Structure 1
Amino acid sequence: MKKRLASARLNLLTHSLVITDQAEYGLVATSQGLRLAVWMPADAKAIRKFRGETSEFEGGTLLIGELSHANAVSLRSRLEWLCPALLGLKTSAGLGDRIGVATPGHVRSVRDMNGSIAPIFAQQSIREMQRTGRSPQQVLDDATWGIFEEGWQTGTGADADHLKTNQDIDACFEAGFSFFTFDPGEYVDATAQQAHKKTLEEKLNGIPEYLQPCATGLVGTSLEVEGHHIHLSKEAVVRAAVKYGRAIDHVVDMYEHLKYVAGYLPFEVEVSMDETVSPTTPAEHVYIASELKRMGVRWVSFAPRFVGQFEKGVEYIGDLLAFRADIAVHAAIARRFGPYKLSLHSGSDKFSLYPLFVEATRGLAHLKTAGTSYLEALRTIAAIAPVFFKEIYAFAREHFEADRLSYHLSAELRRAPMPADIKDAGILFEQFDARQVLHVTFGSVLTEKNDDGSPRFYDRLMEILRQNREAYFDNLERHFRRHLEPFRYIE
């Protein structure tokens, strides 16, 4: 088979080359950056779907085009494996990318797992998109180009993460996402577990009639779930209804809206209840799962609020024995009422938990990461341009107190090293407080402007990563192998 794009005249990225239906597709390195190369026979009309400069080449037509949205759409229409697909109950991992250039490193780490992990390469929350100034379409297209570059043809999902409104659904569905994470956290009443009975009765008035405790069929019931006894007293169901009833109502509304928007097109749903103050009890998990099923909601994964603290970019904070006991009963409930996967949110860098999580879920598991790839980008920059990195770190310290407000963090700015005291910038990535300072200030760093309106950090940050792509990808591959290895060995 002739490989025309492999010509010495073109600097082809070899893994990207695809030959199908007498056409060739690939990425080539040019002085202006990466470009899409398409070769087709001279009489092929399909090349008109792509945008770029054309020329005669090797007896046909060669097109060189930018990595644009239009070209991403055309490429997905020709190469089905680039389109987001459903992952079902496979052991899976979401690898979020806040800056849009990490996917090749993510692909390499997943490829190292030899098919044991189903990946989601396009994943970003609405909050992260707002903070970085990216659109759902940009997130999906950036992942498409990274997947194409590495020649990953085994399939991928696309997670529209932490959606809060129907408008969020519309934007992400139109972009082409296949996996929708509903986050009704704003409707969870965190006071329900400690409220007096009179207060609970008053709060019940705000719960839709169809979700009132008497409608659930759960009051006074008991379940034996793989050796775990769960009793749903009237008080337990009332407290669960007050805490989660309005959240379930919101999930039902979002689900019905997504069904309407999607029409005949398939999709997957994750329900996230993790961003709450108090852990999800076994009785509450049963209530949530039972009520969602009763309302006709179908979901592939669920993120409860586990015991302990799941903070951004650092190890699990809590008692591992308590987590083992907690995950065991939640996994049993998920098998009983589904089966569906349990999802570990803020899951990056929680290395002590992964074996326990995999063991309890028996592979019905989804790992969700995002900010740790941004930290690996900064690690790469720190090694190559330490002075520039220190500027970023100093700026991050200035904005940390404001940016931390939307997160639960234990970091203290006073404990993070001062910029002037740093001799080896690499130590910041091993220091708890500094990691969180860098982690949560991503939006401020990426969008900060100079007085003339030009980006203060973004352009140079991206240029360093583009000029040192392999160093960044190597860091990502090394880092994510540590995350994914524990998920490989499922008995």
Structure 2
Amino acid sequence: MFSKLPKQGISLGLGDRVGLATPGHIKVAKRYDFFPVFAQQSIRELNFTGRTFQDVKRDVERAAVKENYDGKSGFDGDHLKTDKEIKVSIDSGITMLTLDCSEYMGVDSKIKEQVYKKFYAKTFHIKDLTLEYTQEDLEKILSIYSGVIERIIYIWNHFPKVKNKEVSFEVSVDETNIPTDEKTHFLLSKYLYDEGITIDTLAPRFPGEFQKGIDYIGDIEEFKNSLTKHHKIASYFGYRLSIHSGSDKFSIYPYVHQITQGNYHLKTSGTSYLQSLKIIAQKDPNFFLEIWKTCLDKRKEMDKYYHLSCDPFSVPKDLKPIEYLNNHDARQTLHVSYMFVLNPNYDFRNRFFEILTKYESEYHMEVAEHIERHVRELRIPEKR
């Protein structure tokens, strides 16, 4: 069932923090023409939920049997940072490795001078892009990314399944406040390409804000311009762009389709958890409000793990439980409330699963309808 991602076309990282959402994802994958990644989890998510990669894999396999799904799916070890995390995920059978390079940004490297010499005073042309590297350009780029380049090379050389292309290899440089410009993207890709390293997808940091579970915040024209340049560079080197925190970004979906011509990876993991909270709000409003109160109590702790722009204390106190999910500050906050709701160390977990299991069919329909909206806005065609 699990396989590498396609080289071309549309793939969606769906993910399932809850362990019960995949039947809803399958309902959509059966109808529409995209490659699904049902199994997608980060170590951070696994630690909070008390699951393992094997649990994630098993939950997807069970859902496939239940829904009579005989298609393929990717298995993404998402935002992996350490060698240990990468080894555990590869040993668990992932088919996609998403390397999170955030901790190597701003780290000096042994190859810094070598990269500098390779690009200094050079000009490159890609279609209508002209990329000229001055001393100032290179000093700025390499002060942030030389350690990232070195880290990618290290992973390629030290994990045979990556180098032998047994797993799809994604490089993530989106976990930063600094948007990735075209000169940085090209330099990184060109150096890796010349070293014989072939990646399958790359997640740049786009301008604007890609916050959890809400629409894109920023200048759409600026995003379109950035996406166009990044797509040209990715196409030149033969890989696809990956858009992280891509769930609920409905205002930019038509442009993602148009600019990439249906050739991208987009991650939506996490939004299916919000649909589970929708069920909780409908079926047990008091329990939902307990969760919300704990969100307020845990706001500072959330900031240790997630970059959030929301202010949950500004949310009106007279909202009905279901209305919290339509408030941007509440929705972002609730998106990461899984940290304690699904955490075995808290007393929310049993009540949460008792309700969700009781109304499992309704939950699957909520997930399917929500993901189908994503798919329609992305202009993904139905299967013939």
| TM-score bracket relative to the smaller structure | over 0.9
* Partner in structure 1 of residue 310 of structure 2: 411
Residues 67-108 of structure 1 deviation map (CA, whole Å, 9 limit, x = unaligned)? xxxxxxxxxxxxxxx233443323100001111110000111
- The reply to whether residue 428 of structure 1 matches residue 324 of structure 2 is yes
Counterpart AA for 1:166: D
Q: Any stretches of 5+ residues in structure 1 without a counterpart?
A: 1-81, 190-202, 450-454
- The reply to whether residue 120 of structure 1 matches residue 37 of structure 2 is yes
8 A contact 1:179–1:267 mirrored in 2? yes
Q: Give the C-alpha shift of residue 165 in structure 1.
A: 1.3
- The reply to whether residue 310 of structure 1 matches residue 210 of structure 2 is yes
Higher relative contact order (CA 8 A, sep 6+): 2
* Partner in structure 2 of residue 459 of structure 1: 350
TM-score when normalising by structure 2 = 0.94
User: For 1:328, what is the secondary structure of its paired residue?
Assistant: helix
Q: Do the aligned partners of residues 325 and 247 (structure 1) sit closer, same or farther apart at CA in structure 2, a change above 3 Å counting?
A: same
Count of residues in Structure 1 that have an aligned counterpart in Structure 2:
381
Residues 425-478 of structure 1 deviation map (CA, whole Å, 9 limit, x = unaligned)? 1111100111112112211222264xxxxx511112112111111110111111
Q: Give the C-alpha shift of residue 302 in structure 1.
A: 0.3
8 A contact 1:237–1:287 mirrored in 2? no
* Partner in structure 2 of residue 254 of structure 1: 155
Residues 169-215 of structure 1 deviation map (CA, whole Å, 9 limit, x = unaligned)? 111111111100001111112xxxxxxxxxxxxx8xx3213763344
- The reply to whether residue 163 of structure 1 matches residue 63 of structure 2 is no
1:62-211 equivalences in 2 (<5 Å): 82-113=1-32, 116-189=33-106, 206-209=108-111
User: For 2:304, what is the secondary structure of its paired residue?
Assistant: helix
- The reply to whether residue 275 of structure 1 matches residue 275 of structure 2 is no
User: For 1:212, what is the secondary structure of its paired residue?
Assistant: helix
Q: Give the C-alpha shift of residue 230 in structure 1.
A: 2.0
Counterpart AA for 1:124: Q
CA distance in 2, matches of 1:180, 1:475: 29
Counterpart AA for 2:352: L
Alignment partner of 1:212 out of 114, 127, 133: 114
CA distance in 2, matches of 1:278, 1:134: 32
* Partner in structure 1 of residue 240 of structure 2: 341
Alignment partner of 1:440 out of 336, 339, 343: 336
8 A contact 1:395–1:445 mirrored in 2? no
Q: Give the C-alpha shift of residue 413 in structure 1.
A: 2.2
Q: Give the C-alpha shift of residue 159 in structure 1.
A: 0.4
Residues 247-272 of structure 1 deviation map (CA, whole Å, 9 limit, x = unaligned)? 1111111222222x568672110000
Alignment partner of 1:366 out of 234, 243, 265: 265
CA distance in 2, matches of 1:399, 1:181: 28
8 A contact 1:404–1:440 mirrored in 2? no
Q: Give the C-alpha shift of residue 407 in structure 1.
A: 2.1
Larger Rg: 1
User: For 2:38, what is the secondary structure of its paired residue?
Assistant: strand
Which structure: greater strand fraction? Answer: 1
Q: Alignment RMSD, CA only? A: 1.9
Q: Give the C-alpha shift of residue 148 in structure 1.
A: 2.1
Runs of 4+ aligned structure 1 residues displaced above 6 Å come to 262-265
Residues 13-56 of structure 1 deviation map (CA, whole Å, 9 limit, x = unaligned)? xxxxxxxxxxxxxxxxxxxxxxxxxxxxxxxxxxxxxxxxxxxx
CA distance in 2, matches of 1:223, 1:141: 47
Counterpart AA for 1:150: E
CA distance in 1, matches of 2:163, 2:110: 27
Q: Give the C-alpha shift of residue 393 in structure 1.
A: 1.6
CA distance in 2, matches of 1:211, 1:103: 48
TM-score when normalising by structure 1 = 0.74
Counterpart AA for 1:104: P
CA distance in 2, matches of 1:307, 1:416: 26
User: For 2:309, what is the secondary structure of its paired residue?
Assistant: coil
Counterpart AA for 2:182: P
Counterpart AA for 1:322: E
Counterpart AA for 1:374: Y
CA distance in 1, matches of 2:5, 2:172: 18
- The reply to whether residue 221 of structure 1 matches residue 117 of structure 2 is no
User: For 2:155, what is the secondary structure of its paired residue?
Assistant: helix
1:286-325 equivalences in 2 (<5 Å): 286-325=186-225
The share of aligned pairs that are identical, in percent, is: 35
Q: Do the aligned partners of residues 264 and 367 (structure 1) sit closer, same or farther apart at CA in structure 2, a change above 3 Å counting?
A: closer
Name whichever of 220-229 and 361-370 sits farther off.
220-229
Residues 249-303 of structure 1 deviation map (CA, whole Å, 9 limit, x = unaligned)? 11111222222x5686721100000001110111000111011112222111000
